[in-house]
Structure 1
Amino acid sequence: MNTREFAGRTVLITGGGGGIGYATAELLAERGAAVVALGPDDPGLDKVAQLPRSAAVPGDAADENDVHRAVGVALGNGGRLDAVVCCAGIGTFGTVLDPEPVWRDTLRANLDTAYVTTRRALPALIDTGGAIVLVSSLAGTLAVPGSAAYTTSKHALIGLTRSLAADFGPLGVRANVVCPGAVRTAMLDRVMDEAGSRSGLDRDAAYRHAGSLVPLRRAAEPSEIAEVIAFLAGPRSAVVTGAVLMADCGVSAVDLSLSALDQNMTH
């Protein structure tokens, strides 16, 4: 593998200050990219600014003015934009009977950010024959009980990806979506802490319990998802577009209800 495969390329990453977004920024910078990260003004975003050839733009990826400003910084850094990675998002819980703001805030954070960002970045991507990578979730293909807004927003990202691939493929732009399963980020750490406390488990034990039925028996690290994103954003995936790439340690490949039954019968 060419470890400088992004040399001379510029990549815009939304949600670049934390979790998968920061891991992707770090990896692409290491491989030669000029990275521009757009996200909340926090220490994570400051870390991106310290990477080689990189810049941080505090702002909201669902705000057209902020995205326009970030695209401008990207074009100013390298004179071109070769890829956009949409990692911005939040995790929420609730059914459709929960207060309406949960629904609206979740769709804004998870779906509108990708819509606004790709819409603003497309003219520059058409110029370079660039790539779009959206980050969905296992919840983009399966329903998560008690997470109606989150599940809906992540499903919608797959539809957006396929529409982008169909509409802009003739202009040379590729669009793909990654669907991670459990990833050890700060967001999931909080979920594991809360779930584990109800069963007397610490965080690591909660992760082990949650992964006990997953084929690889573990959660992914952000750096591992970043590798998948780098493949889709770079030249090695030149003929891949409209793809939904599951990066979930194999959980979507198995029927967990039957796995749980088998486990219970053998203990």
Structure 2
Amino acid sequence: MSMKSIFPLLLLLGIFIPHVASTATIPKVGKITPTTAVAGEDVTFSSVVSDDDLLASCRLFVDGEDEKGMTIKRDVVYAQLELEEGTTRLYAKCTDANGNVVSGSAVTVTVSDGSSYVEPGALIKLGCEGDVYPNDPCTSVYYYGVDGKRHAFSTEAVFASWFKDFDDLVIVSDEVMSNIPLGKNVIYRPGERMVKFSTNTVYAVSYAGLLRPIANAEIAEALYGEDWVSLIETVDDVFYGNYRIGATIESSSSFSWSTARRTTTTIDQTL
């Protein structure tokens, strides 16, 4: 008897063949960032997404209401939105080519009037409007120090030595940003990484951002392990003036990168 003729009989007997779920991966949708905004200014809200199949669409929801479509670009979806002062709940909802639908966790976005006090220790930037080019001033991120100044990150690697992500970024108005004077550049966090410039000298980043030349490869290996070369970051000579040079490390017992890292918890300690 064929399977085609057996199937109606199974239904009559009350026997059902269970549905086999699709093996397609359900998309993952991250939380919306940033979580702060300035009232009356367009802010680009984005979410990291992942799916083995191409995403068909994503929508941005505001306080539970479907607000607008989001642009899909590789593993990021984004949309621009202007919000009023107060707090708002945002999340993204995406659908993939297989019809799988999933929503990201809702986050609370705090919208200020643009003149509110910015806490020292915050990461700040301007809001970007429309399509922007890579070096647009609105893409620059600064550390707002206890000295009341904003400090630029010279490279993404310098930023990554201090922060894992941009989740705590504070969007400020042009007026607020212009009233904060520009200070020294942020340097690499003391500890795990070594740096070099155009010469062959390799430096350990010590306490307060002091660069200490490492006398030879044997000491470098004793300090950082056999893969020590992979821990060297090349710094453009234009940023040489950001650092101070200290005494040469003549033995592995005269420096501890782990202690330097553990005791340097804020950027303010290196300014």
TM-score, normalization by structure 2: 0.23
**Structure with the largest fraction of helix:** 1
Structure possessing the higher relative contact order (Cα contacts under 8 Å, 6 or more residues apart): 1
Q: Which has the larger radius of gyration?
A: 2
TM value normalised by structure 1? 0.23
The structure with more strand, counted as a fraction of residues: 2
